[in-house]
Amino acid sequence: MKPANNESNDSQELYAKHEKVYPRIIFGFFSRLKALSGAALLGIYYIFPWFQWGDRQAVLFDIPARQFHIFGITFWPQDFIYLAFILILAAITLFFFTTLAGRLWCGFACPQTIWTDAFLWMERLIEGDRQKQIKLAKAPMSMRKFRLIVTKQTLWLVFALFTGFTFVGYFTPIHELTQGVLTFNLGDWETFWILFYGFATYGNAGFLREQVCMYMCPYARFQSAMFDQDTMVIAYDEKRGESRGSRKRNIDYKQKGLGDCINCTMCVQVCPVGIDIRDGLQYQCISCSACIDACDEIMDKMSYPRGLISYTTENNLNGTPTHVWRPRIFVYGGILLAIFIGVGLSISNRSMAEMDVIRDRNSLFKEPKIGLVENVYQLRIMNLDSQPHNYDLTVTGIEGLKLIKDQDIQIDKGSIITVPIRLMAEAKNLPKRSTTITFHLTVTDDMESVITEEARFLGPIIR
């Protein structure tokens, strides 16, 4: 709020009314790259739940069964540690690329940016580009305006609900979910999450847009801690651009003291967060590169060299050399590589079975014949693989130890069975009252040793 001329200037309005940003469409190298990355990522999101892998959905987070299926690999609750490592990996990848290339994630891969772009595309499809949208917003309500608003909102809502439906399709088999939707027979939780995620998309990408990046995203606030003078940023070359001002083509503007910026404001008009890059580096800038394309187009028209706004570094702008390979790049890169190799090796070598040995609580041991000692156990065996398997069980630790089981061990994929086991040993072979024995479980399909588990074999007191 501007103070009256005769009023003091030391009070300032703390609340600023939000003004809608109408970014102008731009076609250029970076805009095409961004459209390509957005289409690829949206494609992955919407198509993945429809892929089958064997007899089940390729990517399915089956929470009731506590199994996450990702392209033939099944993760169980005991694999939760991998989730922690994958999150750490994602965070360090973000740090690494932010230090190297600035807010690459924000501009080209963040879901908020990508869905906002999709909503902007639909808005332009219905209402036209920036000028038409501004004109429509200012125009009084009419049949045409009403029809355009209803069409746009309906398109947004359908797209947002389909996004919510796809999201739930990662947790409930998507073919079952489709049947549920078509027959109006959805579960309460599925209905809730489709609506919740759908309206979150509608609100964030349709209405809040740049406000999510500016006021809600914590990354926008702390990413500057990862920046240094050698980090790639999108910047306006002030030395070259100033003094800005309009001019006729083919005049000697340098003689008039003008820089290369013709003050056309195209860089501001295309900006999805509504800032002026010429005011310097700002935390609101999501590095979408739209202003680079816009300014390059103007430079071409004026026959000036491109790059008045460009991907550059602060060092470069100050005329000092840029160092790409610097200590923090090596540190982040080294940690990233180590975790990546560690997680990859660990996942590829993880055991495909689990076994718990539970001793019979009713008796410590039995002596079915003089000189013979029997111990009874329950073995809980879990097949963590996505294939059924036959297993072989052996036990070591006492000479002549005999294993008696009443059933072959066959376990379906992702199932658990309990196998009662009796072990028989000659008393003379028991060196002490309690002896450590080892169960070995092997997959008979490939005779690869899967798992071993220790237990105690109890016998009478030796005198």
Q: Which residues, at least 6 apart from 161, have a Cβ–Cβ distance to it below 8 Å?
A: 194, 195, 198
Residue 449: how many other CB atoms lie within 10 Å: 11
CB of 114 vs ligand SF4, minimal distance in Å: 14
Distance of CA 1 to the CA centre of its chain: 42
Residue of the chain from 59, 100, 233, 261 that contacts ligand SF4 (CB under 6 A): 261
Pairing of strands 56-57, 52-53: antiparallel
- Closest approach, Cβ 91 to ligand SF4, in A, equals 23
Query: Residues 349-378: x/- map of binding to ligand SF4 (CB under 6 A)?
Result: ------------------------------
Backbone angles phi, psi at 90, to 5 degrees: -65, -45
* CB nearer to ligand SF4: pick between 118 and 234: 234
Determine, following the binding rule CB under 6 A, whether residue 263 of this chain makes contact with ligand SF4: yes
Applying CB under 6 A, what is the total number of residues that bind ligand SF4?
30
Binding segment for ligand SF4 (CB under 6 A), chosen from 115-123, 182-190, 263-271, 339-347, is 263-271
If one asks whether residue 114 binds ligand SF4 (CB under 6 A), the answer comes out as no
Q: Is 109 in the site for ligand SF4 (CB under 6 A)?
A: no
Find the shortest distance in angstroms from Cβ 57 to ligand SF4.
Answer: 37
The site string for ligand SF4 over 218-257 (x = CB under 6 A, - otherwise) reads ----------------x-x----x--x-------------
When asked if residue 265 is in the footprint of ligand SF4 (CB under 6 A), the reply is yes
Cβ count near 132 (within 10 Å): 13
Q: Which is nearer to ligand SF4, 28 or 169 (CB)?
A: 28
In angstroms, what CA-CA distances link 138 with 128, 187, 368?
A: 14, 44, 96
CA-to-CA dists, residue 236 to 29, 244, 317, 320, 324, angstroms: 18, 12, 9, 16, 20
How far, in Å, CA of 220 to CA of 151, rounded? 33
For ligand SF4, which residue of 262, 382, 425, 443 counts as binding (CB under 6 A)? 262
Shortest distance in whole angstroms from residue 348 CB to ligand SF4: 40
Stretch that binds ligand SF4, among 163-171, 194-202, 260-268, 406-414 (CB under 6 A): 260-268
* Residue 294 or 384 having the CB closest to ligand SF4: 294
Interacting positions 266-305 with ligand SF4 (CB under 6 A): 266-267, 270-273, 275, 277-278, 285-291, 294-295, 298
**Residue 270 vs 411, nearer CB to ligand SF4:** 270
Residue 306 CB, shortest distance to ligand SF4, in Å, is 10
Find the shortest distance in angstroms from Cβ 311 to ligand SF4: 9
Q: Does 177 bind ligand SF4 (CB under 6 A)?
A: no
Q: List the x/- string, 184-223, binding to ligand SF4 by CB under 6 A.
A: ----------------------------------------
Question: CB 30 → ligand SF4: shortest distance, Å?
Answer: 9
Q: Is 264 in the site for ligand SF4 (CB under 6 A)?
A: yes
Closest distance of CB 16 from ligand SF4, Å: 19
Which residue's CB is nearer to ligand SF4, number 89 or number 264? Answer: 264
| C-beta of 312 vs 452, nearer to ligand SF4 | 312
Stretch that binds ligand SF4, among 12-20, 46-54, 265-273, 427-435 (CB under 6 A): 265-273
Q: How far is the CB of 135 from ligand SF4 (least distance, A)?
A: 22
Of 68 and 253, the one with the shorter C-beta distance to ligand SF4 is: 253
* 317: contact with ligand SF4 by CB under 6 A: no
SS3 of the chain: the string is: CCCCCCCCCCCCCCCCCCCCCCCCCCCCHHHHHHHHHHHHHHHHHHHHHHCEECCEECEEEECCCCEEEECCEEECHHHHHHHHHHHHHHHHHHHHHHHHHCCHHHHHCCHHHHHHHHHHHHHHHHHCCHHHHHHHHHCCCCHHHHHHHHHHHHHHHHHHHHHHHHHHCCCCCHHHHHHHHHCCCCCHHHHHHHHHHHHHHHHHHHHHCHHHHHHHCHHHHHHHHHCCCCCCEEEECHHHHCCCCCCCCCCCCCCCCCCCCCCCCHHHHCCCCCCCHHHCCCCCCCCCCHHHHHHHHHHHHHCCCCCCEEEECHHHHCCCCCCCCCHHHHHHHHHHHHHHHHHHHHHHCCCCEEEEEEECCCCCCECCCCCEEEEEEEEEEEECCCCCEEEEEEEECCCCCEEEECCCEEECCCCEEEEEEEEEEEHHHCCCCEEEEEEEEEECCCCEEEEEEEEEEECCCCC
Q: State in angstroms the smallest separation of the CB of 36 from ligand SF4.
A: 17
Task: Note whether 309 binds ligand SF4 by CB under 6 A.
Answer: yes
* Contact (Cβ atoms closer than 8 angstroms) between residue 112 and residue 212: yes
Residues of this chain that bind ligand SF4 (CB under 6 A) = 234, 236, 241, 244, 261-267, 270-273, 275, 277-278, 285-291, 294-295, 298, 308-309
